[in-house]
Amino acid sequence: MSSAMRPSRPVNVLRWTLITVALVCAVGPVLYGVLLSLRPYSAVLLEPLDVVPGLSEIDLSSYVTAMKDESAGGFGLGRFVVNSLGVALATVVVSIVACIFGAYAVARLRYRGRRFTSGIILAVYLFPGIVLAVPKFVILSRLGLTRSLVGLLVIYVAATVPVALYMMRNYFLALPESVEEAALLDGCSLPTMLRKVVLPIALPGVVATAIYVFMIAWNEYFYALLFLVQDRSRWTAPLGLAQLTDFQVPVTVLLAGSIAVTVPVIVIFFLAQRYIVTGLTSGADK
Partner 1 sequence: MRSSRWERLSRSQRENLNGQLLTGPTLLLLALVVLLPFVLVVIFGFSDTRLIDIPRLSPSTIEWTFENIADAWRSDAFWGALWTTVIYATLTTLGSIGVGMALALAMRRPFRGRGIVRALLLVPYVLPVIAAAMIWRTMLNPQYGIVNAIGMEYLGWQSPIGFLSTTSTDVAGLPVPVSLLVVVAFEIWKSFPLAFLFVTARLQNVPGGIEEAAALDGASRWQNLRHIILPQLRGVVLLLMLLRFIWSFQNFNDVYLLTEGAGGTQVMAIKVYTELVTRSDIGSAAAYGLLMSLILCVLLAGYVLLSRRKETL
User: Of 50 and 285, which CB lies nearer to partner 1 in the complex structure?
Assistant: 50
Task: Assess 230 for contact with partner 1 (CB under 8 A).
Answer: no
User: Of 55 and 130, which CB lies nearer to partner 1 in the complex structure?
Assistant: 130
Q: Which of residues 261-280 bind partner 1 (CB under 8 A)?
A: 261-262, 265-266, 269
- Whole-angstrom distance, CA of residue 33 vs CA of residue 59: 14
- Whole-angstrom distance, CA of residue 146 vs CA of residue 228: 7
- Alpha helix ranges (H) inside the chain: 9-37, 41-46, 61-67, 77-108, 114-126, 133-142, 149-173, 177-185, 190-193, 199-219, 222-228, 237-244, 251-278
Binding mask 51-90 for partner 1 (x = CB under 8 A): x---------------------------------------
With CB under 8 A as the contact rule, the residue among 64, 145, 251, 272 that binds partner 1 is: 251
With CB under 8 A as the contact rule, the residue among 61, 192, 245, 278 that binds partner 1 is: 245
- Least distance between partner 1 and beta carbon 234 (Å): 17
- Whole-angstrom distance, CA of residue 282 vs CA of residue 286: 9
The radius of gyration of the chain from alpha carbons, rounded to an integer in Å, stands at 24
Spatial contact of 223 and 142, defined as CB atoms under 8 Å apart: no
- Whole-angstrom distance, CA of residue 129 vs CA of residue 91: 17
Task: Assess 112 for contact with partner 1 (CB under 8 A).
Answer: yes
User: Of 89 and 158, which CB lies nearer to partner 1 in the complex structure?
Assistant: 158
Task: Assess 119 for contact with partner 1 (CB under 8 A).
Answer: no
With CB under 8 A as the contact rule, the residue among 85, 190, 208, 272 that binds partner 1 is: 190
* DSSP state at residue 113: T
Q: Which of residues 121-180 bind partner 1 (CB under 8 A)?
A: 121, 124, 126-139, 141-142, 157-158, 161-162, 165
